Structure 1
Amino acid sequence: MTVKMDNVGIVVEDLTAAIEFFRELGLELEGQTIVEGEWAGRVTGLGNQRVEIAMMRTPDGHSRIELSRFIEPSVVADHRNAPVNALGYLRVMFAVDDLDETLSRLREHGTELVSTEVVRYEDAYRLCYVRGPEGILIGLAQELG
């Protein structure tokens, strides 16, 4: 049996800001549409729904993020300020070539480090967590060597 990850979903209020953030990170907008109707609600268990989605793809084409803005029904919970040890899905980690340059570009979109520093893990990685638009938690890792 073969299993392949298709995408990770992130619910946002400001779809445009989230698209621009992930574009700045290096992802490409694959498509944007409205998903609605009874069939979609049967999948999610939400009943009749209307959701604006944008699919973002990494340049290598192997990973995607689905950004969703719920029009109907409205959002019922907010986990944007959950700490890194909260139960459930937490963050997406991206490998980048130049962590300092990536952070510089993302700061123009209001991105802030979760900690006060970028941390070195042995001689293998430089790592950090950042909060993007709407508090989206993203991990960034630069392989050393």
Structure 2
Amino acid sequence: MAVKRMDNVGIVVEDLDTTIAFFVELGLELEGRATIEGEWAGRVTGLGNQHVEIAMMRTPDGHSRLELSRFLAPSIIADHRTAPVNALGYLRVMFAVTDLDATLERLARHGAELVGEVVQYGDTYRLCYIRGPEGVLLGLAEELG
């Protein structure tokens, strides 16, 4: 097997501080912030000379990370924040939560909006999609029983 684990999912944002606060409210921990720039970074991404501010968020279990990036250079060239859930490409990250209703209430204070409605999938899950800061699409699922 070639894959050992998934290290992180990356999301590009404009307002890093607001997005960090949102994910802290969700229950992630800010692991660290850094500025990435230089020729080596551009070779990895194919963007050439880049300057990016990143924040690494860690889930409470320590197994998953979310990398939030704010590009200072080069300029953003596309915006997928309002794409519907059936758009091609990356779309959402799903988080398991312990109390869906309380989580939605807390995240609403940070601007989160329900995309559709909270639904129950059999006797297994209650789940929903929300849009957080900058239109970031997330799934939230509460295991039942």
One fold, TM greater than 0.5? yes
Partner of 2:119: 119
Secondary structure of the corresponding residue to residue 77 of structure 1: coil
Kindly provide the amino acid, as one letter, of the partner of residue 97 in structure 2: V
Instruction: State yes or no: 1:137 paired with 2:137.
Output: yes
Partner of 1:63: 64
Distance in 1 (CA, whole Å) between partners of 2:70 and 2:85 is: 23
Identical columns (%)? 77
- Deviating beyond 4 angstroms after TM superposition, the runs of 4 or more aligned structure 1 residues are none
Cα RMSD between the aligned structures?
A: 0.6
Partner of 2:90: 89
Kindly provide the amino acid, as one letter, of the partner of residue 119 in structure 1: V
Deviations 1:47-99 (A, max 9, x none): 01000000000011000000000000011000000000000011000000000
Q: Gapped runs of 5+ residues in structure 2?
A: none
Secondary structure of the corresponding residue to residue 65 of structure 1: strand
Q: Gapped runs of 5+ residues in structure 1?
A: none
Secondary structure of the corresponding residue to residue 67 of structure 1: strand
Secondary structure of the corresponding residue to residue 140 of structure 2: strand
Distance in 1 (CA, whole Å) between partners of 2:7 and 2:72 is: 24
Instruction: State yes or no: 1:31 paired with 2:29.
Output: no
Distance in 2 (CA, whole Å) between partners of 1:80 and 1:39 is: 28
Instruction: State yes or no: 1:47 paired with 2:48.
Output: yes
Q: TM-score, normalised by structure 1?
A: 0.98
Partner of 1:18: 19
Q: How many residues align?
A: 144
Q: CA deviation at 1:11?
A: 0.1
Kindly provide the amino acid, as one letter, of the partner of residue 83 in structure 2: A
Distance in 2 (CA, whole Å) between partners of 1:93 and 1:58 is: 12
Q: CA deviation at 1:3?
A: 2.1
Distance in 1 (CA, whole Å) between partners of 2:102 and 2:121 is: 19
Distance in 1 (CA, whole Å) between partners of 2:49 and 2:78 is: 19
Partner of 1:80: 81
Deviations 1:113-140 (A, max 9, x none): 001x210011110010000000000000
Q: TM-score, normalised by structure 2?
A: 0.98
